[in-house]
Chains A and B, each alone.
Chain A
């Protein structure tokens, strides 16, 4: 058995050249690598287009988006005002549980009734659950599909990729602690606006974000009873990491965030519950509030290293060398935590295009699914994709814990990989496949050329000659009598079979 991978590539890092701009050969393979990392893989046409640019121009095209442009698009179907009205009526006894349930569609009603002996037995809890099924779950699914659709169709793939990065970093959870779909979408828009913006400013705004205020309980933190949940995670998981602060710093910063709460669903600094006494935090003394705490945190060297490590692990490879972390941390500080120039350096760097980074990450389920849709030119995310993603281990807006998704080995287990294979198999025969996709239209009719084209389109050539030979044999039908030889009759089915086999190969699971 092989051992678990730490994620750091083998071999030695040339730190002197690591972050210098790459000037080597440029081809489809490296353009595809860039699009997988700075986006979700792109369509074959995107890869082709980027391969004709210089590496520097390709990166410019990715980092140069206008963040405001992407914000105009808002998801449909996330208005939960009817839910909130009915819930209020239920809680105030203005409507009985039966009355509420009777206002719902037949199918939802039946589910609510099935656990009750008689219709007059519908409990408040059953009515609440029925309301949630009728309004909240569809609104959540709608938000999830909307975001997946954005990833799929955006002209600014790096903006969506960074939004996903921030969602996994500054975690919050929809339908937990009363977080409504529209609130998680508003947080998502904050991440989209600051996708490549200032990290310090983003952190300050995250501390005032309604979904975050609910998720880590700061909305309930008052001078008399400070809740340490947010203050602790802010330092432990969001900015510095364990070992760079003490328990006293957690307690003192929790005092500084007291009174940061919600009023009418918006951030509100409540002077009545805010502790405006003197706090001692990371060696400084003053009447600090939350903004001061964020300022002090961003003066710590540990903070730059923390974000540097997270960015490198997400975009280059896991467990990056301390010297690479230091160099990237220096870059962050030099740029005053403005992310756009830093990401431009990383995506242009020698180390990014080196063997160390190439296919060195495991595709997340979202990268796998969105990437497959882009590969074949599918332009709509079906509802069924959400269940598939959940089985693969990733549900958007519902990270497994405040730590977000671990990535790497955590994506890999037998059930999740079988789900990926089954997803690929179903996709290739699904009615979603556009009739004019490259795989249906214009594939070469001889097995050798067809196999070569599949391996180029799906894996950008990342397979051995032996495997290519086996794909040729498969297409020719050497080992079977069931389908007969490669012919006009079974051409399409054979091609889809070979595409499925190619998508099941280990290389395709890597990013």
Chain B
């Protein structure tokens, strides 16, 4: 397996060797790792899924690489439009507001994230990123595994929250039921029935003395009770939060506004999942992706404005991911097909802004695709160990070098 040796030795205070399990054994023995700003208990990780396979090359643009312009005669971002980071890369102009955040040192770019033998199907690739398991089929997700093992109050319904219609695989655990909700209004019983319904409901749902036994009875009972309790609790718990941030009127804007509300209401939440897309730009890519990137940029900036106004920005780290990058060469429809490696962004939470990892070489491709330089499980490991304060080995399914994204 390819390793990211350039990262090794760059990590202050910790001696790491790739594939050295003893380090992780040590980390397991000391689950609470030293903190970044705020105490570990207050930190929140926000996962932002760029659904559909985001074209990383037109997001963080390699304007210093001639091959980029050769491969993309019609859809490349012209050098004069690039918001320059250095002589090699820069931001797509649709990310202007995010670039300002980068210039303040609050955005880390991890280049060339991927994994060995990449899959090109949306389903399987999503599954791989959500379960952190490229080589096997896992029934739990990496955040689910984190929540399973974290020392969090088990009676709290809000340790993890997915702002999505269907519970993402990343949040599936063995012993936790993460609520999935698309918005507060739809998360609830639509029945207009009255108070006596609800009372009857609560007691009927907890009926355990039934004349049969079932391996699933306890789980159904628990999840139904959580769903009912949660859908009644949530609107009240977050009602006191006021925000003046100007979120864009997009689904992601609404999701992040709700995320800030949940974080600001201090429900003990450690992980929030949101999604944005679809980035599956097989044709006429520029129009679609620019709209999506601008929406991403403005929503993220509003999110951090909101968090900052409530003193929460330093305790919230946002990590973006996407199931794959896209083919380096544009196709005949001015779009791009499914590819491999792409950048991940880490925003806020006191990250040390900058550029990490190597950019995939565009003069050496894997069947037309960019070859990954950083295993995405390195980023997960960094987030789990250095932000959430847990040993990552069992959560990401192996030992991966940390990325020095913190001061």
Contact = CB atoms under 8 A, between A and B. Distances in A.
B204 A504 contact: yes
A474 interface: yes
Contacts of B70: none
Interface in A112-126: 115, 123-126
A416 B167 CA distance: 9
A500 interface: yes
A461 interface: yes
B207 A505 contact: yes
B335 interface: yes
Interface in A353-377: 355, 358-362
B96 interface: no
A4 B176 CA distance: 8
Given A5-B218, A124-B283, A466-B209, A418 B231 contact: yes
B115 to A, nearest CB: 18
A288 to B, nearest CB: 27
Contacts of A8: 215
A393 B213 CA distance: 25
B199 A479 contact: yes
A123 B180 contact: no
A123 B284 contact: yes
A425 B191 contact: yes
Contacts of B139: 406
A483 interface: yes
Contact of A510 (B166, B216, B335): B216
B335 A125 contact: yes
Interface pairs A-B: 4 shortest CB-CB: A125-B283, A414-B227, A480-B196, A464-B209
A358 B189 contact: no
Contacts of A403: 137
A483 B201 contact: no
A128 to B, nearest CB: 8
The main secondary structure of chain B at its interface with chain A is loop
A473 interface: yes
A88 interface: no
Contacts of A504: 201, 204-205, 224
A180 B74 CA distance: 32
29 contacts: A1-B176, A2-B222, A4-B174, A318-B215, A360-B214, A362-B220, A401-B127, A408-B216, A409-B216, A412-B223, A413-B180, A414-B167, A414-B181, A414-B226, A415-B179, A416-B166, A416-B167, A417-B224, A418-B188, A421-B191, A425-B193, A463-B211, A466-B207, A479-B195, A479-B196, A504-B224, A509-B216, A509-B224, A510-B220
Contacts of A272: none
Given A412-B219, A412-B223, A510 B214 contact: yes
A332 to B, nearest CB: 25
A432 interface: no
A83 B210 CA distance: 54
B87 interface: no
A245 B187 CA distance: 46
B391 to A, nearest CB: 21
Contacts, number: 200
Given A125-B333, A464-B209, A509-B220, A500 B194 contact: no
| Chain A: interface size category | 35 or more
B366 interface: no
B221 interface: yes
Contacts of B220: 362, 412, 417, 506, 509-510
B88 interface: no
Nearest to B200: A474
Interface string B38-64: 000000000000000000000000000
Given A2-B218, A7-B216, A414-B223, A425 B190 contact: yes
Contacts of B224: 417, 421, 504, 506, 509
B340 interface: no
Nearest to B154: A1
Most-contacted residue by chain A among B139, B177, B212, B221 (CB, 10 A): B212
Contacts of B216: 5, 7, 360-362, 408-409, 412, 509-510
B165 A510 contact: no
B215 A5 contact: yes
B363 interface: no
A396 to B, nearest CB: 16
A400 interface: yes
Contacts of A482: 194-196
A431 to B, nearest CB: 17
Contact of A501 (B178, B201, B221): B201
A360 B199 CA distance: 28
Interface string A150-161: 000000000000
A3 interface: yes
Nearest to A115: B287
B174 A505 contact: no
A355 B227 contact: no
B149 interface: no
A507 interface: yes
A7 B210 contact: no
Nearest to A400: B123
Contact of B215 (A7, A126, A413, A414): A7
B364 interface: no
A462 interface: yes
A438 B101 CA distance: 64
A415 B223 contact: no
B223 A417 contact: yes
Most-contacted residue by chain A among B210, B211, B220, B283 (CB, 10 A): B220
